[in-house]
Structure 1
Protein backbone atom coordinates (compact mmCIF):
# COMPACT_ATOMS: atom_id res chain seq x y z
CA UNK A 1 0.00 0.00 0.00
CA UNK A 2 1.35 3.41 -0.90
CA UNK A 3 -1.27 5.56 0.84
CA UNK A 4 -4.28 5.31 3.12
CA UNK A 5 -6.82 7.86 4.35
CA UNK A 6 -10.11 7.66 6.16
CA UNK A 7 -11.98 7.01 2.91
CA UNK A 8 -9.64 5.21 0.50
CA UNK A 9 -6.28 3.54 0.05
CA UNK A 10 -3.94 3.31 -2.93
CA UNK A 11 -1.82 0.33 -3.90
CA UNK A 12 0.03 -1.05 -6.89
CA UNK A 13 -2.07 -3.11 -9.31
CA UNK A 14 -2.01 -6.83 -8.45
CA UNK A 15 -3.40 -9.99 -10.11
CA UNK A 16 -6.01 -10.34 -7.33
CA UNK A 17 -7.56 -7.02 -8.53
CA UNK A 18 -8.82 -8.51 -11.82
CA UNK A 19 -12.49 -9.04 -11.01
CA UNK A 20 -13.02 -5.68 -9.30
CA UNK A 21 -11.01 -3.74 -11.89
CA UNK A 22 -13.01 -5.31 -14.69
CA UNK A 23 -16.22 -4.47 -12.85
CA UNK A 24 -15.17 -0.82 -12.41
CA UNK A 25 -14.21 -0.36 -16.04
CA UNK A 26 -17.14 -2.21 -17.60
CA UNK A 27 -19.77 -0.60 -15.34
CA UNK A 28 -18.37 2.88 -16.12
CA UNK A 29 -17.74 2.42 -19.84
CA UNK A 30 -19.95 5.35 -20.85
CA UNK A 31 -18.12 7.61 -18.41
CA UNK A 32 -14.60 6.50 -19.42
CA UNK A 33 -14.90 5.78 -23.16
CA UNK A 34 -13.95 9.20 -24.52
CA UNK A 35 -10.64 9.65 -22.72
CA UNK A 36 -9.62 6.07 -21.80
CA UNK A 37 -10.55 4.10 -24.94
CA UNK A 38 -7.40 1.94 -24.99
CA UNK A 39 -7.72 0.96 -21.33
CA UNK A 40 -11.38 0.04 -21.84
CA UNK A 41 -10.58 -1.95 -24.98
CA UNK A 42 -8.02 -3.96 -23.01
CA UNK A 43 -10.51 -4.78 -20.23
CA UNK A 44 -13.74 -5.93 -21.91
CA UNK A 45 -13.77 -9.37 -20.28
CA UNK A 46 -12.42 -10.79 -17.03
CA UNK A 47 -9.83 -12.77 -18.99
CA UNK A 48 -8.68 -9.66 -20.87
CA UNK A 49 -8.37 -7.83 -17.54
CA UNK A 50 -6.19 -10.64 -16.18
CA UNK A 51 -3.97 -10.27 -19.26
CA UNK A 52 -3.97 -6.48 -18.87
CA UNK A 53 -2.83 -6.79 -15.25
CA UNK A 54 -0.05 -9.21 -16.15
CA UNK A 55 1.22 -6.81 -18.85
CA UNK A 56 1.05 -3.85 -16.44
CA UNK A 57 2.82 -5.72 -13.63
CA UNK A 58 5.61 -6.61 -16.07
CA UNK A 59 5.67 -3.01 -17.30
CA UNK A 60 6.07 -1.78 -13.71
CA UNK A 61 8.91 -4.24 -13.10
CA UNK A 62 10.64 -2.78 -16.17
CA UNK A 63 9.82 0.77 -14.95
CA UNK A 64 7.93 1.61 -18.15
CA UNK A 65 4.48 2.29 -16.69
CA UNK A 66 2.82 1.98 -13.28
CA UNK A 67 -0.83 1.38 -12.43
CA UNK A 68 -2.19 2.28 -9.00
CA UNK A 69 -5.55 1.10 -7.71
CA UNK A 70 -7.82 3.13 -5.43
CA UNK A 71 -9.84 1.04 -2.94
CA UNK A 72 -12.79 2.26 -0.92
CA UNK A 73 -11.82 1.59 2.72
CA UNK A 74 -15.38 0.72 3.75
CA UNK A 75 -16.44 -1.73 1.02
CA UNK A 76 -12.90 -2.65 -0.12
CA UNK A 77 -14.14 -2.21 -3.72
CA UNK A 78 -11.91 -0.72 -6.40
CA UNK A 79 -13.28 2.75 -7.06
CA UNK A 80 -10.63 4.15 -9.38
CA UNK A 81 -7.22 3.86 -10.92
CA UNK A 82 -4.22 6.05 -11.70
CA UNK A 83 -1.84 5.25 -14.53
CA UNK A 84 1.66 6.72 -14.54
CA UNK A 85 2.79 6.63 -18.17
CA UNK A 86 4.98 8.32 -20.77
CA UNK A 87 7.90 8.06 -18.41
CA UNK A 88 11.13 9.84 -19.32
CA UNK A 89 13.73 8.81 -16.76
CA UNK A 90 16.37 11.19 -18.18
CA UNK A 91 14.05 14.19 -17.79
CA UNK A 92 12.63 12.68 -14.55
CA UNK A 93 9.12 13.19 -15.89
CA UNK A 94 5.88 11.21 -16.16
CA UNK A 95 2.22 11.69 -16.99
CA UNK A 96 -0.88 10.67 -15.05
CA UNK A 97 -4.10 9.35 -16.51
CA UNK A 98 -6.89 8.51 -14.09
CA UNK A 99 -10.50 7.53 -13.61
CA UNK A 100 -12.95 7.13 -10.76
CA UNK A 101 -16.26 5.32 -10.68
CA UNK A 102 -19.47 7.28 -11.08
CA UNK A 103 -20.58 6.63 -7.48
CA UNK A 104 -17.44 8.33 -6.14
CA UNK A 105 -17.12 11.34 -8.44
CA UNK A 106 -17.35 14.83 -6.99
CA UNK A 107 -16.15 13.89 -3.50
CA UNK A 108 -12.56 15.11 -3.90
CA UNK A 109 -11.15 11.60 -3.69
CA UNK A 110 -9.30 11.78 -7.01
CA UNK A 111 -7.59 15.08 -6.19
CA UNK A 112 -6.42 13.60 -2.90
CA UNK A 113 -5.36 10.38 -4.66
CA UNK A 114 -3.37 12.28 -7.31
CA UNK A 115 -1.68 14.38 -4.61
CA UNK A 116 -0.77 11.25 -2.60
CA UNK A 117 0.42 9.35 -5.67
CA UNK A 118 2.47 12.37 -6.78
CA UNK A 119 4.22 12.43 -3.41
CA UNK A 120 4.89 8.70 -3.63
CA UNK A 121 6.23 8.90 -7.19
CA UNK A 122 8.53 11.83 -6.40
CA UNK A 123 9.86 10.27 -3.20
CA UNK A 124 10.10 6.63 -4.30
CA UNK A 125 10.62 6.72 -8.06
CA UNK A 126 12.69 9.89 -8.27
CA UNK A 127 10.54 11.75 -10.78
CA UNK A 128 10.56 15.54 -10.52
CA UNK A 129 7.91 16.70 -12.99
CA UNK A 130 4.46 15.15 -13.31
CA UNK A 131 1.95 16.01 -16.00
CA UNK A 132 -1.77 15.72 -16.57
CA UNK A 133 -3.39 16.23 -19.96
CA UNK A 134 -7.07 17.09 -19.95
CA UNK A 135 -9.57 18.42 -22.43
CA UNK A 136 -10.94 21.81 -21.37
CA UNK A 137 -14.51 20.42 -21.33
CA UNK A 138 -13.55 17.61 -18.96
CA UNK A 139 -14.23 19.80 -15.94
CA UNK A 140 -13.82 17.03 -13.33
CA UNK A 141 -10.34 16.22 -14.66
CA UNK A 142 -9.30 19.87 -14.90
CA UNK A 143 -10.52 20.46 -11.33
CA UNK A 144 -8.68 17.34 -10.13
CA UNK A 145 -5.42 18.62 -11.60
CA UNK A 146 -5.80 22.07 -10.07
CA UNK A 147 -6.91 20.80 -6.64
CA UNK A 148 -3.97 18.36 -6.61
CA UNK A 149 -1.55 21.26 -7.02
CA UNK A 150 -0.86 21.01 -10.75
CA UNK A 151 -0.44 24.29 -12.66
CA UNK A 152 -1.71 24.97 -16.17
CA UNK A 153 1.17 25.26 -18.65
CA UNK A 154 -0.24 25.50 -22.18
CA UNK A 155 -2.70 24.12 -24.73
CA UNK A 156 -1.34 21.29 -26.88
CA UNK A 157 -2.90 21.41 -30.35
CA UNK A 158 -4.43 18.18 -31.72
CA UNK A 159 -2.81 16.20 -28.90
CA UNK A 160 -5.43 13.47 -28.43
CA UNK A 161 -7.61 11.61 -30.91
CA UNK A 162 -10.73 10.04 -29.38
CA UNK A 163 -12.32 6.98 -30.99
CA UNK A 164 -14.00 7.93 -34.25
CA UNK A 165 -13.36 11.60 -33.54
CA UNK A 166 -11.27 14.48 -34.69
CA UNK A 167 -8.08 15.34 -32.77
CA UNK A 168 -8.62 17.43 -29.65
CA UNK A 169 -6.53 20.17 -28.13
CA UNK A 170 -5.50 19.20 -24.61
CA UNK A 171 -4.59 21.34 -21.62
CA UNK A 172 -1.23 20.53 -20.05
CA UNK A 173 -0.95 20.76 -16.27
CA UNK A 174 2.33 20.15 -14.42
CA UNK A 175 3.49 19.57 -10.91
CA UNK A 176 7.16 20.02 -10.15
CA UNK A 177 8.90 18.80 -7.01
CA UNK A 178 11.06 21.93 -7.11
CA UNK A 179 8.16 24.39 -6.85
Structure 2
Protein backbone atom coordinates (compact mmCIF):
# COMPACT_ATOMS: atom_id res chain seq x y z
CA UNK A 1 0.00 0.00 0.00
CA UNK A 2 1.26 3.47 -0.84
CA UNK A 3 1.68 5.98 1.95
CA UNK A 4 1.02 9.70 2.05
CA UNK A 5 4.53 10.38 0.74
CA UNK A 6 3.67 8.80 -2.63
CA UNK A 7 2.34 12.07 -4.00
CA UNK A 8 4.09 13.59 -6.99
CA UNK A 9 3.02 16.95 -5.56
CA UNK A 10 0.93 18.19 -2.66
CA UNK A 11 -0.85 21.53 -2.62
CA UNK A 12 -3.10 23.23 -0.08
CA UNK A 13 -6.33 21.63 -1.29
CA UNK A 14 -5.27 18.65 -3.40
CA UNK A 15 -2.45 16.26 -4.21
CA UNK A 16 -1.31 14.51 -7.38
CA UNK A 17 -0.69 10.80 -6.94
CA UNK A 18 0.14 7.92 -9.28
CA UNK A 19 -2.64 5.44 -9.94
CA UNK A 20 -2.90 2.77 -7.24
CA UNK A 21 -5.26 -0.13 -6.58
CA UNK A 22 -6.70 1.68 -3.56
CA UNK A 23 -8.33 4.22 -5.89
CA UNK A 24 -10.69 1.87 -7.78
CA UNK A 25 -13.81 2.67 -5.77
CA UNK A 26 -13.04 6.40 -5.68
CA UNK A 27 -12.45 6.51 -9.45
CA UNK A 28 -15.79 4.77 -9.98
CA UNK A 29 -17.42 7.47 -7.83
CA UNK A 30 -15.64 10.27 -9.71
CA UNK A 31 -16.57 8.89 -13.13
CA UNK A 32 -20.22 8.22 -12.34
CA UNK A 33 -20.71 11.64 -10.73
CA UNK A 34 -19.09 13.31 -13.76
CA UNK A 35 -20.40 10.98 -16.49
CA UNK A 36 -21.99 13.85 -18.40
CA UNK A 37 -18.67 15.68 -18.54
CA UNK A 38 -16.71 12.59 -19.55
CA UNK A 39 -18.95 10.98 -22.15
CA UNK A 40 -17.75 13.04 -25.12
CA UNK A 41 -13.97 13.19 -24.62
CA UNK A 42 -13.30 10.35 -22.15
CA UNK A 43 -15.73 7.64 -23.32
CA UNK A 44 -13.29 4.77 -22.75
CA UNK A 45 -12.49 5.89 -19.20
CA UNK A 46 -16.19 6.35 -18.54
CA UNK A 47 -17.20 2.92 -19.87
CA UNK A 48 -14.37 1.23 -17.96
CA UNK A 49 -15.49 2.67 -14.60
CA UNK A 50 -19.27 2.44 -14.48
CA UNK A 51 -19.22 -0.14 -11.67
CA UNK A 52 -16.79 -0.87 -8.85
CA UNK A 53 -15.89 -4.21 -10.47
CA UNK A 54 -15.10 -2.53 -13.78
CA UNK A 55 -13.08 0.13 -11.97
CA UNK A 56 -11.00 -2.53 -10.22
CA UNK A 57 -10.09 -4.06 -13.60
CA UNK A 58 -9.38 -0.60 -15.06
CA UNK A 59 -7.13 0.40 -12.16
CA UNK A 60 -5.21 -2.89 -12.21
CA UNK A 61 -4.57 -2.39 -15.93
CA UNK A 62 -3.48 1.24 -15.43
CA UNK A 63 -1.15 0.29 -12.55
CA UNK A 64 0.41 -2.37 -14.81
CA UNK A 65 0.81 0.15 -17.67
CA UNK A 66 2.36 2.65 -15.25
CA UNK A 67 4.87 0.09 -13.98
CA UNK A 68 5.82 -0.80 -17.57
CA UNK A 69 6.18 2.90 -18.59
CA UNK A 70 3.45 2.49 -21.21
CA UNK A 71 1.03 5.08 -19.84
CA UNK A 72 0.97 7.13 -16.65
CA UNK A 73 -2.33 7.89 -14.94
CA UNK A 74 -2.44 10.28 -12.02
CA UNK A 75 -5.31 11.04 -9.69
CA UNK A 76 -6.02 14.48 -8.31
CA UNK A 77 -7.10 13.84 -4.74
CA UNK A 78 -8.90 16.27 -2.45
CA UNK A 79 -6.72 16.52 0.68
CA UNK A 80 -9.65 17.04 3.05
CA UNK A 81 -12.06 14.24 2.13
CA UNK A 82 -9.66 12.11 0.04
CA UNK A 83 -12.04 11.86 -2.92
CA UNK A 84 -10.81 11.85 -6.50
CA UNK A 85 -11.48 15.24 -8.08
CA UNK A 86 -9.71 14.72 -11.41
CA UNK A 87 -7.52 12.55 -13.59
CA UNK A 88 -4.44 13.36 -15.69
CA UNK A 89 -3.00 10.93 -18.21
CA UNK A 90 0.46 11.01 -19.72
CA UNK A 91 -0.28 8.79 -22.70
CA UNK A 92 0.55 8.02 -26.33
CA UNK A 93 4.17 7.76 -25.22
CA UNK A 94 6.79 7.61 -27.95
CA UNK A 95 10.08 7.01 -26.16
CA UNK A 96 12.14 7.29 -29.37
CA UNK A 97 10.75 10.76 -30.15
CA UNK A 98 10.60 11.59 -26.41
CA UNK A 99 6.99 12.66 -26.92
CA UNK A 100 3.68 12.14 -25.10
CA UNK A 101 0.17 13.53 -24.84
CA UNK A 102 -1.44 14.89 -21.67
CA UNK A 103 -5.17 14.39 -21.24
CA UNK A 104 -7.05 15.66 -18.21
CA UNK A 105 -10.47 15.98 -16.66
CA UNK A 106 -11.72 17.64 -13.50
CA UNK A 107 -14.90 17.18 -11.52
CA UNK A 108 -17.61 19.72 -12.26
CA UNK A 109 -17.52 21.15 -8.74
CA UNK A 110 -13.76 21.89 -9.03
CA UNK A 111 -13.83 23.54 -12.44
CA UNK A 112 -12.49 27.09 -12.72
CA UNK A 113 -10.40 26.99 -9.53
CA UNK A 114 -6.96 26.66 -11.17
CA UNK A 115 -6.54 23.05 -10.03
CA UNK A 116 -6.30 21.63 -13.55
CA UNK A 117 -3.74 24.24 -14.63
CA UNK A 118 -1.62 23.57 -11.55
CA UNK A 119 -1.83 19.80 -12.11
CA UNK A 120 -1.02 20.01 -15.83
CA UNK A 121 1.89 22.38 -15.19
CA UNK A 122 3.25 20.10 -12.44
CA UNK A 123 2.90 16.95 -14.53
CA UNK A 124 4.39 18.66 -17.60
CA UNK A 125 7.48 19.38 -15.49
CA UNK A 126 7.43 15.80 -14.17
CA UNK A 127 7.22 14.46 -17.76
CA UNK A 128 10.19 16.50 -18.90
CA UNK A 129 12.37 16.39 -15.77
CA UNK A 130 11.67 12.87 -14.49
CA UNK A 131 10.65 11.01 -17.65
CA UNK A 132 12.98 12.84 -20.04
CA UNK A 133 10.29 13.76 -22.55
CA UNK A 134 10.97 16.68 -24.89
CA UNK A 135 7.60 17.28 -26.61
CA UNK A 136 4.27 17.22 -24.82
CA UNK A 137 0.94 17.51 -26.58
CA UNK A 138 -2.56 18.46 -25.56
CA UNK A 139 -5.37 17.74 -28.01
CA UNK A 140 -8.55 19.72 -27.43
CA UNK A 141 -11.76 20.61 -29.24
CA UNK A 142 -12.02 24.28 -30.25
CA UNK A 143 -15.18 24.70 -28.15
CA UNK A 144 -13.50 23.50 -24.93
CA UNK A 145 -12.43 26.96 -23.77
CA UNK A 146 -11.44 25.80 -20.29
CA UNK A 147 -9.06 23.19 -21.66
CA UNK A 148 -7.60 25.65 -24.15
CA UNK A 149 -6.96 28.10 -21.28
CA UNK A 150 -5.22 25.32 -19.31
CA UNK A 151 -2.96 24.48 -22.27
CA UNK A 152 -2.03 28.11 -22.90
CA UNK A 153 -1.56 28.92 -19.20
CA UNK A 154 0.88 25.98 -18.97
CA UNK A 155 2.98 27.23 -21.89
CA UNK A 156 1.59 25.02 -24.65
CA UNK A 157 1.23 26.70 -28.03
CA UNK A 158 -1.25 25.98 -30.80
CA UNK A 159 0.30 23.99 -33.66
CA UNK A 160 -2.43 22.91 -36.08
CA UNK A 161 -5.87 21.41 -36.60
CA UNK A 162 -5.96 17.60 -36.54
CA UNK A 163 -8.69 16.59 -38.99
CA UNK A 164 -11.19 13.99 -37.77
CA UNK A 165 -8.93 13.24 -34.77
CA UNK A 166 -11.57 12.15 -32.26
CA UNK A 167 -14.89 10.36 -32.66
CA UNK A 168 -17.19 10.70 -29.64
CA UNK A 169 -19.80 7.99 -29.12
CA UNK A 170 -22.71 8.33 -31.59
CA UNK A 171 -21.15 11.38 -33.28
CA UNK A 172 -19.25 12.12 -36.45
CA UNK A 173 -15.46 12.51 -36.19
CA UNK A 174 -14.35 15.87 -34.79
CA UNK A 175 -11.45 18.06 -35.83
CA UNK A 176 -9.26 18.77 -32.81
CA UNK A 177 -6.68 21.44 -31.97
CA UNK A 178 -3.10 20.39 -31.26
CA UNK A 179 -1.11 22.31 -28.63
CA UNK A 180 2.51 21.47 -27.87
CA UNK A 181 5.15 22.23 -25.29
CA UNK A 182 8.75 21.81 -26.39
CA UNK A 183 11.56 21.51 -23.89
* Range of TM-score over shorter length: over 0.9
In the TM superposition, residue 5 of structure 1 has moved relative to its aligned partner by 1.3
Find the partner of 1:127 among 133, 149, 159. 133
Q: Distance in 2 between matches of 1:71 and 1:98?
A: 14
Q: Distance in 2 between matches of 1:46 and 1:131?
A: 31
Equivalent residue for 1:64? 70
Equivalent residue for 2:40? 34
- Specify every segment of 5 or more residues in structure 2 that has no aligned partner in the other structure, as ranges: 1-6
**How many residues are matched?**
177
In the TM superposition, residue 144 of structure 1 has moved relative to its aligned partner by 1.1
Find the partner of 2:99 among 78, 89, 93. 93
Residue 87 (structure 2) pairs with residue 111 (structure 1)? no
- Specify every segment of 5 or more residues in structure 1 that has no aligned partner in the other structure, as ranges: none
How does the TM-score come out when normalised to structure 1? 0.96
In the TM superposition, residue 159 of structure 1 has moved relative to its aligned partner by 0.7
Q: What SS class does the counterpart of residue 93 from structure 2 fall into?
A: strand
Q: What SS class does the counterpart of residue 81 from structure 1 fall into?
A: strand
In the TM superposition, residue 72 of structure 1 has moved relative to its aligned partner by 1.3
Equivalent residue for 1:159? 165
How does the TM-score come out when normalised to structure 2? 0.94
Equivalent residue for 2:30? 24
Q: Distance in 2 between matches of 1:152 and 1:7?
A: 30
Q: What SS class does the counterpart of residue 125 from structure 1 fall into?
A: coil
